[in-house]
Chains A and B, each alone.
Chain A
Amino acid sequence: MVDGVKYEQDLRKGVLVLAVLSQLRSSQYGYSLRQALAERGMPIEEGTLYPLLRRLEAQGLLESEWQVDGGPPRRYYVVSAAGSALFASLTDSWGALASVMDRLLEGTD
């Protein structure tokens, strides 16, 4: 039997980076980012999101710093210049892709 959940996960994986970059135009730490994404209808598993932030930072797409605001120390992430450029590029690509998919899916429901 076809595993629909897996296909949906694969679909979400494709837009994960774009979703994360969209929410890090202002700085956030891991937990608050996950909450923000979940509230906007894009829940991402913790075990996927937190390592992803580190990988994006290692690729120069995010910048981070530790902050202490009266609570426990937290690592805040924000998009770098390279991340902003990639975000703009991916946003354009997403727009084009969504438009193509809309056309492809027309009449299939």
Chain B
Amino acid sequence: MNPDALIETYVGDVVRHLPRSQRNDVAFELRSLLAEELQGRSADSGREPDAWLATQLLTEFGRPVDVADRYRPAGFTVIRPSEAPRFARIALGGVVLQWILTLVATFSTPSELEWPSLLGAWWLSWGLGSFWWPGFLVTLSLIAGFVQSRREAAGEWMLTRGVVRDRDHVRRPLIVLYIALGVVGASIVTSVPSIALWGAGLPGPVVEAFALEGEFVSTRAPWVLVLWAVTLAVGIAVLVAGRWTPITRRISAALSIAWLALLLWWVAAGPIFTQQYADEVTKICLVLVAVIVAVDAVVAFQRGRAAVIHSPVA
């Protein structure tokens, strides 16, 4: 093979990975330099600049994509090495959690389908659908990485008072507000099943829209009362102590996971409202709440862990 053709192909493979504005200029220079390198090697070895010499030169030059990387300025880090293991755990853990919950829901719901058909239907819905979670995390990481790179470019990091603040200290008025809103929210939601009784003055379509499925009310809904009760107890404990403790942090993290499981169960295990439209809108909202709860769970878990650093010689 003609060594010039080898170089030409190689240069094309390199510049293909570069921005269009650079390609022509880099290709022209790289082609010229490789030709000179080849001539130099030919003179050193005393043999004609043939395909063998060209192949050796290009192999040592490196993979085209690696060479192209070297032409580009350093980009920003999407996931830092220190955060990669945690990222992998959260991403894969979220997928596995969704699979477990939805598989249980799929196979515990009576169906006329055979198990292979059920499994296929599950895979095409929740199985593949669960990968929204790693995608969502990567998108957040991209945004965070971009913002971080802008901050780093803007100036040096300094230790400030904000960084060393007491993270466990709570503002009691905020906790009171948090508890009050929780109680009000719980009261509203728990009154929905009896809307037919107290909402006699409401228009008929409104009452119908908020009509809950009997199975939901009897099986899935009651668990929310348990979680609300525990959440309320944790809120009161934090209020009394005036700060988060390792125990309340851990309970809070466990509660978040329980909330996440409950919300996903609600969404996956059948209709919540009898009206299809109300049911769909509610489930979209519940999935969004689940995302927020998941993020909160991760934060709570990390803070709980950071708060309990034991001495290695204890």
A-side interface residues toward B, CB under 8 Å?
Answer: 29-31, 35, 45-48, 50-52, 54-55, 58-59, 72-75
Contacts and interface: CB of A to CB of B under 8 A. Distances in A.
B26 A54 contact: yes
B29 A47 contact: no
A47 B67 contact: yes
B47 interface: no
Interface of B: 26, 28-30, 32-37, 40, 57, 60-62, 66-67, 70-71, 73
21 contacts: A29-B33, A30-B33, A31-B40, A45-B62, A46-B33, A46-B34, A46-B37, A46-B61, A47-B61, A47-B62, A47-B66, A47-B67, A47-B70, A50-B29, A50-B33, A51-B67, A54-B71, A58-B73, A73-B32, A75-B29, A75-B32
B37 A31 contact: yes
A21 B37 CA distance: 21
Contact of A72 (B32, B37, B70, B71): B32
Determine the main DSSP class of A at the interface with B.
helix
Nearest to B69: A51
Nearest to B71: A51
A58 B18 CA distance: 14
Nearest to A48: B70
Nearest to A31: B36
Contacts of B33: 29-31, 46, 50
Nearest to A55: B73
A25 B297 CA distance: 58
